[in-house]
Amino acid sequence: MKQTFTLLFFLVTILSCGQKNAPQPLPDDPNDGVDTGCKTCLGAGLTELDSIPVPIADRDIRSIFFKDGEAGNLPSLSPYKYRNRLDFYNFLRSHAGDYDNNLMVYVGRRDTTEFCFRQGQYNADTRLPIMSASKAVTAAVLMSIVESGKLGLDDKVSKYIPSFGNEKKDITVRQLMSHTSGIVVESRFDSRSDLTLGQNIDSIALRTQLLFTPGKQALYGSVSYGVAARVAEVVEKKTWAQIFQERIGSKCGLKDVVYSPDHPLNPEPGYGIVCSMNEYLRFLTMIYNKGTYNGVRVLKEESIAIMEQDNTNKVDPTYGLGLFRYEIQNGVSTEVACLSARGVHAWVNRSKNYYGLIFTQAGFEKTILTNLAFRDLVRRKM
């Protein structure tokens, strides 16, 4: 009996498993209610390169298993589930070098933290560039405008941006976000602080050539998301920063998140967000909850379904809107993901009802195979 309790103590100490939400507001935003975030990864004052749970005073901690060395309320998890989470822990510890020994990982289901892990110098409130994981957020903003009736996914861009009245006149908003528009992948007008987004996109319309006939091929890129954001600016008569905050940011607890802080008037909607792990988790929670966050309806369930479906007309069914589609069965994707050049990797599994986030800066090429292997491990164990 003593050996069994010792084993449980060890496992609970190294893993954040099955922690239940305790609805307590963040101190800086009393209206923010329950916060989905990696409490283990907050890491304030933590020097060990490990995922030891750290109680953070006055934060929305889901539960505390042990207090002053005394056993608290042990979660009702079977030894089987403990073994699964130990497998997650051992995998990440053994592959930490693939992440330059700097990573944070979260796996959640419903209102429960299934697993947390932290190793390295960052904590879950450290703001870092998430690169192409920004695309899902941008797509969500566009879907919110579509819901309002001001915009249609199959509207032509030239209806809103006159400079697209050339060989690009038939490109649609859906094609922009599903990588089938033929727009250049990169542009020399991005990242320029002396341009507005409108000037950037007009330059792309007039000074770049299509790579292929819109709708006939698929090629992953980010410039098309800038074009989609410019359409939103024209429709809403506001800057992209204002639109993002009004439609998604303020509703998902992302009030401090910005696109391209060094040149906000010419943002990069395809890869410009700088945010923390906990902030991105809030957005991911909304996607997982099929459009709701903290009891607030952010997007309709139908809009999330559209983002997760093939939007390429079967040209490349791996592309939704802002999301990659995996585990496709009879045309239906049971797992969707957001990938990033920095290695940030988020996913939602619909068939087994959980979601996960790997937060790192180690790079796509160095982490992609490990990220996919960890996702596969979680899929098999959950």
pLDDT of 111 reads 83
Please determine, for residue 15, whether its predicted confidence score (pLDDT) is greater than 90. Answer: no
Spell out the residues 6+ positions from residue 324 whose beta carbon is closer than 8 angstroms to its own.
318, 336, 337, 338, 339
Largest distance between two CA atoms of the chain: 77
Please determine, for residue 193, whether its predicted confidence score (pLDDT) is greater than 60. Answer: yes
Q: In Å, how far are 95, 133, 147, 327 from 243, measured between CA atoms?
A: 40, 18, 14, 33
Domain ranges of the chain: 2-119, 128-335
CA 137 remoteness from chain centre: 7
3 state SS of 371: helix
pLDDT of 39 reads 56
Least confident of 73-82, 85-94, 315-324, 326-335: 73-82
pLDDT of 105 reads 94
3 state SS of 356: strand
3-state helix, strand, coil in the chain (%, to 5): 35, 15, 45
Interatomic CA distance for residues 131 and 121, integer angstroms: 20
Spell out the residues 6+ positions from residue 50 whose beta carbon is closer than 8 angstroms to its own.
14, 118, 119
Please determine, for residue 5, whether its predicted confidence score (pLDDT) is greater than 70. Answer: no
DSSP 263: S
Please determine, for residue 65, whether its predicted confidence score (pLDDT) is greater than 60. Answer: no
Global pTM reads 0.83
What's the whole-number mean pLDDT along residues 315-322? Answer: 97
Interatomic CA distance for residues 121 and 103, integer angstroms: 8
Q: Following DSSP, what letter does each residue of 173-224 receive, concatenated?
A: HHHHHTT-S---S--TTTT-TTS-HHHHHHHHHHH---SS-TTT-----SHH
In which band, very low, low, confident or very high, does the pLDDT at 55 lie, cut at 50, 70 and 90? very low
Residue 181's closest CA among 54, 312, 35, 37? 312
Residue 2 phi, psi dihedral angles, 5° rounding: -65, -40
Please determine, for residue 53, whether its predicted confidence score (pLDDT) is greater than 50. Answer: no
CA dihedral 31, 35, 40, 44 (to 10 degrees): -20
pLDDT of 131 reads 97
Interatomic CA distance for residues 246 and 370, integer angstroms: 36
Q: pLDDT tens across 133-169, in order?
A: 999 999 999 999 999 999 999 999 999 999 999 999 9
What's the whole-number mean pLDDT along residues 228-242? Answer: 98
pLDDT of 142 reads 98
In which band, very low, low, confident or very high, does the pLDDT at 112 lie, cut at 50, 70 and 90? confident
Please determine, for residue 80, whether its predicted confidence score (pLDDT) is greater than 80. Answer: no
By the 8 A CB rule, do 97 and 29 touch? Answer: no
Sheet (strand 128-129) strand order: 128-129, 273-275, 258-259
pLDDT of 56 reads 30
Q: What CATH topology corresponds to 128-335?
A: Beta-lactamase (3.40.710)
pLDDT of 83 reads 81
Q: pLDDT tens across 270-309, in order?
A: 999 999 999 999 999 999 999 999 999 999 999 999 999 9
DSSP 309: S
In which band, very low, low, confident or very high, does the pLDDT at 17 lie, cut at 50, 70 and 90? very low
In which band, very low, low, confident or very high, does the pLDDT at 31 lie, cut at 50, 70 and 90? very low
Residue 72's closest CA among 111, 20, 3? 20
Q: pLDDT tens across 117-138, in order?
A: 999 999 999 999 999 999 999 9
In which band, very low, low, confident or very high, does the pLDDT at 93 lie, cut at 50, 70 and 90? very high
First to last CA, the chain: 27
DSSP 354: E
Q: Residue 206 has which token pair?
A: 């007039």
pLDDT of 16 reads 37
Interatomic CA distance for residues 158 and 162, integer angstroms: 5
Strands 128-129 and 296-297: unpaired
Q: Residue 48 has which token pair?
A: 């060990």
Spell out the residues 6+ positions from residue 167 whose beta carbon is closer than 8 angstroms to its own.
210
Mean of per-residue pLDDT scores for the chain: 84
Q: pLDDT tens across 196-217, in order?
A: 999 999 999 999 999 999 999 9
Going 157 to 158 to 161 to 164, the CA torsion angle's sign is positive
Interatomic CA distance for residues 205 and 216, integer angstroms: 19
Least confident of 52-61, 133-142, 192-201, 365-374: 52-61
Q: pLDDT tens across 34-47, in order?
A: 344 555 555 443 33
pLDDT over 90 percentage in the chain: 74
